[in-house]
Chains A and B, each alone.
Chain A
């Protein structure tokens, strides 16, 4: 995926630490989506953002999780006080936000909690 860039690709944290996942959308895309995939499951929506705005955060856990997409720089998904259950692959997608335009995904960040 030359388009959506996620880093880091792998992140290891101990319980109680903070995890920060970054996503740079494809050039020309102003809409960013975050998804989480647990083992043997499909991707589950977390949050949808445009520049400086959260459009839909209905899939985001109410506590410890936050997301932003500032005017300058990448989108950030932040998980505070991580627990073992946060271990998953986190995928970011971006789109132009126009009708019939699909979301394009990055290669994800694999988060492991020790």
Chain B
């Protein structure tokens, strides 16, 4: 039933380097993909998203790449900073009735640790 998969439970990166977080999905009907960051005892915070009509979206240090044929997306963080240490969730959705974003399907998350 896991339609969104994050196969790496953890990733450790040195400050200043690139962090690459990966996500795979199985449902070809997904239209929209999102990345969220989550600190302990807080809710997920929206980071960046991409529509299925694009293959790349960039926002400051964060870039999301979408490869529809491989059903794969990745989040690049450059340069990584210690404050980026958190759990990162990949999520996907279909549009409900063509316009409204429906339920989100989440991966299990990747714990990113950025060390000085």
Given contacts A43-B89, A100-B32, contact A107 B41 (CB under 8 A): yes
Closest Cβ neighbor of A55 among chain B residues: B96
Report whether B49 and A33 are in contact in the complex, using a CB–CB cutoff of 8 Å: no
**A1: contacting residue among B43, B89, B96, B100, CB under 8 A:** B43
Residue B104 lies at the interface, judged by CB distance under 8 Å to chain A: yes
Q: How far is the CB of B8 from chain A (nearest CB, A)?
A: 14
Q: How far is the CB of A43 from chain B (nearest CB, A)?
A: 5
Q: How far is the CA of A35 from the CA of B93 in the complex (A)?
A: 14
Report whether B104 and A45 are in contact in the complex, using a CB–CB cutoff of 8 Å: yes
Report whether A48 and B34 are in contact in the complex, using a CB–CB cutoff of 8 Å: no
Q: Which of A40, A43, A48, A91 has the largest count of B CB atoms less than 10 A from its CB?
A: A43
Q: How far is the CA of A55 from the CA of B102 in the complex (A)?
A: 9
What residues of A have a CB within 8 angstroms of the CB of B11 in the complex? Answer: none
Report whether B42 and A107 are in contact in the complex, using a CB–CB cutoff of 8 Å: yes
Closest Cβ neighbor of B109 among chain A residues: A42
Report whether A40 and B102 are in contact in the complex, using a CB–CB cutoff of 8 Å: no
Report whether A97 and B100 are in contact in the complex, using a CB–CB cutoff of 8 Å: yes
Q: How far is the CA of A48 from the CA of B103 in the complex (A)?
A: 7
**B99: contacting residue among A44, A93, A99, A107, CB under 8 A:** A99
**B101: contacting residue among A1, A95, A106, A107, CB under 8 A:** A95
Given contacts A40-B108, A41-B108, contact A107 B43 (CB under 8 A): yes
Report whether B46 and A104 are in contact in the complex, using a CB–CB cutoff of 8 Å: yes
**B49: contacting residue among A43, A98, A102, A106, CB under 8 A:** A102
Report whether A56 and B102 are in contact in the complex, using a CB–CB cutoff of 8 Å: yes
Residue B105 lies at the interface, judged by CB distance under 8 Å to chain A: yes
Q: How far is the CB of A88 from chain B (nearest CB, A)?
A: 14
Given contacts A45-B103, A95-B101, A107-B42, 11 further A-B contacts (CB under 8 A): A1-B43, A40-B108, A42-B4, A42-B109, A43-B89, A59-B103, A93-B104, A98-B100, A103-B101, A105-B44, A108-B42
Task: Provide a sorted-by-A list of 18 A–B residue pairs whose CB atoms are within 8 angstroms.
Answer: A4-B43, A42-B106, A42-B108, A48-B96, A58-B103, A59-B103, A91-B43, A93-B104, A99-B95, A99-B100, A100-B101, A102-B34, A103-B34, A103-B101, A105-B43, A105-B44, A105-B45, A107-B43
